[in-house]
A and B are shown apart, each in its own frame.
Chain A
Amino acid sequence: MSRGAASRGAMSGGAVSEGVATAGASPATDALPFNARGVAAIYKFEMARFRRTLLQSLVAPIVSTALYFVVFGSAIGSRISTVHGVSYGAFIVPGLLMLSVLTESLANASFGIYMPKFTGTIYELLSAPVSSLEIVLGYVGAAVSKSLLLGALILGTASLFVPIRVLHPAWMIAFLVLTSASFSLCGFILGVWARSFEQLQFAPMLVVTPLTFLGGAFYSIDMLPHAWRTVTLFNPIVYLISGFRWSFYGSADVALGVSVASTGAFLALCLALIVWIFRTGYRLKN
């Protein structure tokens, strides 16, 4: 279609998508209301970055997890017989998995969007015909993919140390996907908010990791004194780990429904914040 016709299409009150369909100067530009190629470009770019930093993104978390098994599983586990009828080594697997998935989701997504801000290449993202939803899909999709891959590898590593059974595999996958998606979204928000590498490290180091350690990753909250147990219930990570552990062994610190609702609520909160960020251009467009 000619450019003149393109303009007429848009001017004659056609839908915006019609304008998109014809506006491109090149016949090679398809124009759909959804820029799938743009999303794929961001996703592939992020995955390429992941491949370039495999040592940091994949090997380091796996080595750390293996060390946790050696220290907690073997050294401390030998003094604890079972927890909720599960050997201590096996009991900590869901918590450890969650710890890695949470921190990696947060780190990957936050770094992914922070780096273009830091290097200045954000200009290209903001000037491209990609919607805020598409930008989030690209970055968060890549961060979730990395986290799931990491989760699978950690599960594989754990199975070398302890026998693992998964009673509810569908729930286990659902929890893993929901958690990595929520924390990747949270990481995206963090990356947009951060103005320095120090701020970027703040949430993973000083908020998420302590909360995960105190959220029942290595123990059941039933093992705590009553007062501390009540305090722990204010920690949102407790619900994630509890639900995830239930999918493995069928036992939980809190009811499954509460765990699912908490994860969903966290996801909704992150989504709402991202919508606000793109509507206002907070720390992106001003």
Chain B
Amino acid sequence: MTAALSISRLTKTYASGLQALKDVDLEIPRGEIFALLGPNGAGKTTLINIVCGIVTPSGGRVLADGYDVLRQYRAARRLIGLVPQELSTDMFETVRHTVQYSRELFGCRRDPALLERLLRDLSLWDKRNDRIMTLSGGMKRRVMIAKALAHEPRILFLDEPTAGVDVELRRDMWQLVRGLREREVTIVLTTHYIEEAEEMADRVGVINHGSLILVEEKRRLMKQLGRKELTLHLSEPLRAIPEALSDWRLTLSADGTEIQYRFDSVSEHSDIPALLRRIGELGIGFKDLNTRQSSLEEIFVGLVGRRAAASAERDVALSTEER
């Protein structure tokens, strides 16, 4: 089966010399929700802009549903919708006209029924004859989404779609994305809100300094890289961790009322039952316990941080060798 998006050896070097993308390979199957995470300037938007035809790549190849985005750009672009990061709209146009314009620009016939459904789904129907300049930021963001969906794309790029929007719109957006997934629309999402990726994505890609450093199924990623934390709320405060518990890496809270045990969920053998037995044998009572798994945000920060540290180490080693 043809992938919705197939990117191979994609590179982009801007005229300024900035290498925004370095040999990026990525395959996204149809109907998947893929979250692309990365710090500012990592290359997320450049990647999206190349796929959508806004930026010319320096090298590599991108296929959208099997169509080359450069050589078969008409067929490829018909399939792609983009909600850009910035609120870029024609302020003097009405909501209805601007969405209609987007549909016709993509070569589609007018479809008043579809337009109405789209505007109703996005709570824009009552505002259809209003000029965009009169709308709130959240409403403008909805207009951007309506424009991107006006030609019924099969692949939708959402570049920071909920940046600066209220909770209500964010929830509406998540609902909309789930609805699109039911219709087998492939969605590529970039976001700074990790909980958004955690909530919606099937797979997660992490990009940093133009390189795709990781692509993994979200659940597996959290399982593999997620840290777990066990907290015991003690009945009586302790002064120090007893020597008999030195087999486990435990920490005691400042007030001595909580013992914390951090462990990797897969790589480290936790043996929690043995720990609890030993605590019981030592006569340490606890009134409650809870476990917590690290969020995607913590995983992401950890990954990027580790890469940065490794890169810094390499630089130090190189400069030492040079000397």
Interface residues of A, Cβ cutoff 8 Å to B: 3, 6-7, 10-11, 16-17, 19-20, 23-26, 28-33, 35-38, 40-42, 44-45, 48-49, 52, 119-121, 123-131, 281, 285-286
Main secondary structure of the interface of B (DSSP, over half): loop
B86 on the A face (CB < 8 A): yes
Give 4 nearest A-B pairs by CB, closest first: A120-B88, A41-B104, A23-B75, A129-B74
**Contact present for A41 and B101 (CB under 8 Å):** yes
Q: How far is the CB of A1 from chain B (nearest CB, A)?
A: 13
Within the assembled complex, what's the spacing in Å between the Cα atoms of A40 and B100?
Answer: 12
Partner of B82, one of A23, A49, A127, A129: A127
Within the assembled complex, what's the spacing in Å between the Cα atoms of A127 and B88?
Answer: 14
Q: How far is the CB of A43 from chain B (nearest CB, A)?
A: 10
Q: Count A/B pairs, Cβ under 8 Å.
A: 140
Within the assembled complex, what's the spacing in Å between the Cα atoms of A161 and B104?
Answer: 44
Q: How far is the CB of A246 from chain B (nearest CB, A)?
A: 42
Give the B interface residue count (CB, 8 A). Answer: 47
B72 on the A face (CB < 8 A): yes
Q: Given A19-B75, A285-B56, A26 and B108 touching (CB < 8 A)?
A: yes
- B residues near A31, Cβ cutoff 8 Å: 74-75, 78, 107
**Contact present for A129 and B152 (CB under 8 Å):** no
**In the complex, which of the residues B79, B86, B107 has the most CB atoms of chain A within 10 Å of its own CB atom?**
B107
**Contact present for A130 and B105 (CB under 8 Å):** yes
B71 on the A face (CB < 8 A): yes
Task: Write the B12-50 contact mask toward A (1 if CB under 8 angstroms, else 0).
Answer: 001100000000000000000000000000000000010
- B residues near A285, Cβ cutoff 8 Å: 54-56
B124 on the A face (CB < 8 A): no
- A residues near B84, Cβ cutoff 8 Å: 120, 123
Q: How far is the CB of A193 from chain B (nearest CB, A)?
A: 15
Q: Given A129-B78, A281-B56, A10 and B72 touching (CB < 8 A)?
A: yes
Main secondary structure of the interface of A (DSSP, over half): helix
B52 on the A face (CB < 8 A): yes
Partner of B14, one of A11, A37, A38, A286: A286
Q: Given A26-B152, A37-B108, A123-B84, A129 and B54 touching (CB < 8 A)?
A: no
- B residues near A120, Cβ cutoff 8 Å: 84, 86, 88
- B residues near A6, Cβ cutoff 8 Å: 65
Q: How far is the CB of B265 from chain A (nearest CB, A)?
A: 39
Within the assembled complex, what's the spacing in Å between the Cα atoms of A16 and B72?
Answer: 6
**Contact present for B80 and A127 (CB under 8 Å):** yes
Task: Write the B140-171 contact mask toward A (1 if CB under 8 angstroms, else 0).
Answer: 00000001000111100000000000000000
- B residues near A32, Cβ cutoff 8 Å: 107
